[in-house]
Amino acid sequence: MLNALANTGIEVIVGVPNDQLLRVGQSRSEAADWINKNVAAYIPATNITYIAVGNEVLTTIPNAALVLIPALQFLQSALLAANLNSQVKISSPQSIDMIPKFFPPSTATFNSTWNSIMNQYLQFLKNYGSSFMLNAQTYYAYTKGQGIFPLDFALFQALNPNNQVVDPNTNLYYTNMFDSMVDAAYYSMQALNFTGIPVIVTASGWPWFGGSKEPDATVDNALAYNSNLIKHVLNGSGTPSQPTAQINTYIFELFNEDLRPGPISEKNWGIMYPNKTALYTLSFEHPDESDGDSTGLVGVFCVANSSAPAIALKQGLDWACGPGSANCSAIQPGQPCYDSNNIAAVASYAYNDYYHRTQANGGTCNFNNTAMITTTDPSHGLCIFAGRSGSSKGGGISPGSALGPISPTNLASAFQLCWLSYLVTVLLLLLFYY
């Protein structure tokens, strides 16, 4: 994978897996050997910019906590010896669970059990100009909250005016959970008297499928979350407490991991199956450059359930073409999608058009339980459904996809091999989890 990323200019994070942490943290020579084999051997062709030492070490393998700081120091010494310390920074991704209560952000603090380790870790970051790596998984926070926060807050969607979320200590308004998590990390660092350390979000996403007790793990929500996350990061607005700070972000994740233990949702965070079939696609266009009609949902269609009562389908059709503002010109008499004898086919076109126009802003495929999601393209002849690969409404991964982490400043170099931007993330995640 590191060879595949050579000569692309894509920023790459290489991870020290948790099962190698003990070896690297107990021996300078092992740390030097690791740098030589996994970093120095690929530079400068591969643009390695960070080493992620372990993954959520303090919350997942606390018995390894005592070797975390030595591992950071030994690897830093090895970078210096290899004359790579100015190009490659070192950090260690932390779970949002390190902050027991992330809202309100202004009162957030790290778990005091780890204050000694965190002080040493933050001092290391400060000394070497590195960043605090945060895994900000809003799905977990939302589900654990059991209704404390509205789903719209988790998905970056507009809140009811009566349900605004405000930090009572700063009077700062929060429009989404992601920002509150990032700010909680900044405030937690401040509580230990550290400032000026930027935050990189090394994992954030949403599962597209879950079990019977995981109703919010859906394609609709996964696409809405990741699409809105991209828009939020690329607009460069920062967070309420850090409005000028970039939020470099890695999306979790490229592929489904069907062998992961735990609930069904744990296996279904990917935007692709392992065979590279896309579940949905994401556009990395800057908000100012995107087409208002583009959807990002290629290969997924919202169609009418043919077994639904005709009267219910007619009601859904009327709503989609009326209040729903779907473009229903193609299902008028004489047009290519009109079929006077098949109400389900006509409703499917309207349902699908509505869905593709609105899903990024919270539109769903339901229509009073008369609609369903399918990956089978219902297009036929000259009747082309939104979402068909190559259609003008299909959206998809644009030629301007972001390279490496999403950030507002990497747009100028964005016109390169799009799918490799995902490869960076899966490289990072595979090294973390395997």
The residue with greater pLDDT, 78 or 388, is 78
* pLDDT tens figures, 185-207: 999 999 999 999 999 999 999 99
Helices (H), 277-373: 310-321, 343-358
Residue with tokens 């992330």: 102
Quick one: tokens of 134?
């945060």
Q: Residue 260: name the closest of 96, 430, 54 by CA.
A: 430
Helices (H), 209-342: 219-234, 310-321
Confidence of residue 297 (pLDDT cuts 50, 70, 90): low
* Over residues 239-249, mean pLDDT: 93
Rounded Cα–Cα distance for residues 97 and 401 (Å): 31
Domain boundary assignment for the chain:
2-282, 300-374
* pLDDT tens figures, 380-397: 989 999 987 655 443 333
Give yes or no for residue 331 having a pLDDT over 50. yes
**Amino acid identity for residue 290 in this structure:** S
pLDDT reported for residue 411: 35
Quick one: tokens of 177?
């959970």
Give yes or no for residue 289 having a pLDDT over 90. no
Give yes or no for residue 115 having a pLDDT over 60. yes
Instruction: Report the predicted TM-score, pTM, of the whole model to 2 decimal places.
Output: 0.74
Quick one: tokens of 118?
């965190």
Average pLDDT of every residue of the chain:
86
Contact call for residues 192 and 124 (beta carbons, < 8 A): no
Phi, psi of 118 (to 5 degrees): -65, -35
* Fold category of 2-282 in CATH: TIM Barrel (3.20.20)
Confidence of residue 316 (pLDDT cuts 50, 70, 90): very high
pLDDT reported for residue 101: 95
Rounded Cα–Cα distance for residues 282 and 291 (Å): 13
Quick one: tokens of 307?
């077994």
